[in-house]
Amino acid sequence: FGVGQGTNLEKKCDVSNTTTTLVDLQWKLGMSVSSDTCRSLNSPYVSLLLKVVEPSGQICQRSFEMTIPQFQNFHKQFKEMAAVMETV
């Protein structure tokens, strides 16, 4: 799958629900060499796989890819959320 596009691995997750719990996050760094529209892409990306438990108890997975700047912003937001959660 291409940068910025997600692929459903199980069923569609309802990540908008605030009681959905993240139980695993896996990531890997990759390099897009070319695409259908660009012969010399040479663009790094980060691939993420999230595993969440929904309120029903069902586990679902969601994968997506981000450019390096998108991932850096994602990381920054996660750090901010962790800091807020420590004060609660």
| Token pair for 54 | 């929904």
pLDDT at residue 24, rounded to an integer = 94
Mean pLDDT (whole number) for 39-63: 88
In a domain, 19, yes or no: yes
pLDDT category of residue 22 using cuts at 50, 70 and 90: confident
57 domain-assigned: yes
How far is residue 43's CA from residue 31's CA, in Å, rounded to a whole number?
Answer: 6
- Give a yes or no: residue 1 inside a domain: no
* Mean model confidence pLDDT for the chain: 80
User: The domain spanning residue 42 has which CATH number?
Assistant: 3.10.450
For residue 25, being part of any structural domain is answered with yes
C-alpha 70/C-alpha 62 separation (Å) is: 17
Q: How far apart are CA 12 and CA 87, in angstroms?
A: 32
Which of 7-11, 28-32, 67-71 bottoms out in mean pLDDT, i.e. has the lowest? Answer: 7-11
Number of domains in the chain: 1
Residue 66 falls inside a structural domain: yes
> What range does the domain containing 11 cover?
7-87
pLDDT for the residue 41:
78
Contact by Cβ (8 Å): 60, 52? yes
Single out the residue of 21, 4, 11 nearest to residue 74, CA to CA: 4
Per-residue pLDDT, 3: 41
